[in-house]
Amino acid sequence: MVIKNLRKSRENLELKQKDLAEKYHLHFSTISGWETGKDTIPLERLIDYANEFNLSLDYLFGVITKNQKYYPIDLDIMQLAKNLTDLRLKNKLTQKEVAKKLNTSQAAYSHYETATNLIPTAFVYGLTEIYKPFSIDSLFNRKKR
């Protein structure tokens, strides 16, 4: 899965893959893998990046075309789980229906709504295909500046 604007945002910040690799104590090939979609950036790392450089998750995922300024995300897995549940119920879907659309099991998906596991980055993006309109930033209760 490609985070559509990860490379573009890095280049706009005039950073090289090497710069990010050093900052996050990674090999530059890891950054390259994230930018090409060979590897999936962990959600926690993507949030760190968004917070550090004041980037909207909606922008990074390509949901919107222009970055919007937000306050940093304080990742609260319990609140995220509640937001996932509320979103699903508001759209009158079952866990099984959402899981099927994400190509996972209902049991696995239920772990995201019970805060047993953090939802993977690819599934966060998948939610944009299920719920329209949908803001990834709002899923994390992120407030605009």
pLDDT band (50, 70, 90) for residue 145: confident
Task: In whole angstroms, give the CA distance from residue 105 to residue 110.
Answer: 9
Domains and CATH numbers, the chain: 6-61 (1.10.260.40), 77-139 (1.10.260.40)
Nearest to 120 by CA among 16, 1, 7: 1
pLDDT (tens digit, 9 = 90+) per residue, 58-107? Answer: 999 999 999 999 999 999 999 999 999 999 999 999 999 999 999 999 99
Does the structure show a pLDDT above 80 at 142? yes
Nearest to 77 by CA among 129, 40, 112, 123: 112
pLDDT (tens digit, 9 = 90+) per residue, 16-25? Answer: 999 999 999 9
pTM score, whole prediction? 0.92
